[in-house]
Amino acid sequence: MKKMIIASTSTIHGSSYLEYLLPTLKEFFVDVKTVLFIPYARPSGISYDTYTKTAKEAFAKINMDVIGIHQFENSKEAILKAEAIFTGGGNTFELVNQLYKNDVLSTLKEALENGTPYLGTSAGSNICGVNMMNTNDMPIVYPPSFTTLGCIPFNINAHYLDPIEDSKHMGETRETRIKEFHVFNEISVLGLREGSWLEVFGDEIVLKGNYTARLFQKDKNPMELESGREVVVF
């Protein structure tokens, strides 16, 4: 049975890395001693070692260790034997590119479908959807496919931002970009605001955190979903 936390971000304003999620993670990863970290998204181009160190310091606060997948000779075996898995944020294109390059996307899906507890933040959440086509990231590399894990039946737009009234910004809003997506695609998209996350147990997906989320479905008006509500798409 799937057991996943899919969070919009790792860090909210005024807090340290993962701080707002740690109380939830302590319960969610109960009895876990070591978390396998997938640092492939490498935000700002930092090294895998540096990124893993950041995750390690955060999980140490709840008495859990972290080891990077790049530290194993056999990445597939590391995933299948992991007590729990965390995929951090950064650039979704590079994350997906490396998952394909290392041939571990299907292995990761297998582990999650079999119940290995999972945390994804930002890019690590984008990959939980049907595909990565609603990421906000620049296409700095070209992955073999945009198809991702498909552990939830819709896509994620992490860091979702509402239009700012009286803003002089003339570029597209997130809502505009998602509408463009729906001209050519049927897949529903959930806009996750900062500080919000999804808790997945089996086929049940529930919105958590202090904010609503915005659900976009093709040829329908967007819906605001309250925290605590199950997310259902048709």
- 83: Cβ contacts below 8 Å, ≥ 6 apart: 32, 33, 34, 35, 36, 116, 117
User: How far is 132 from 44, CA to CA, in rounded Å?
Assistant: 19
Beta partners for 68?
A: 37
Catalytic residue from among 10, 75, 125, 137: 137
Catalytic residue from among 16, 159, 182, 227: 159
Beta partners for 118?
A: 4, 85
Q: In the annotation, is 125 catalytic?
A: no
What's 129's DSSP letter? S
Of 151, 154, 132, 119, the residue nearest 225 (C-alpha): 154
Catalytic residue from among 122, 125, 188, 196: 122
Cα separations (Å) of 92 from 59, 193, 226? 23, 17, 27
CB 203 within 8 Å of CB 19? no
Classified as helix, coil or strand, 214 is strand
User: How far is 87 from 36, CA to CA, in rounded Å?
Assistant: 8
Per-residue tokens: 231: 């997310």
Beta partners for 100?
A: none
- Helices (H), strands (E): how many in the chain? 7, 11
Pairing assessment for the beta strands 223-225 and 3-7 based on DSSP bridges: unpaired
Q: Could you give the residue numbers annotated as active site?
A: 122, 137, 159
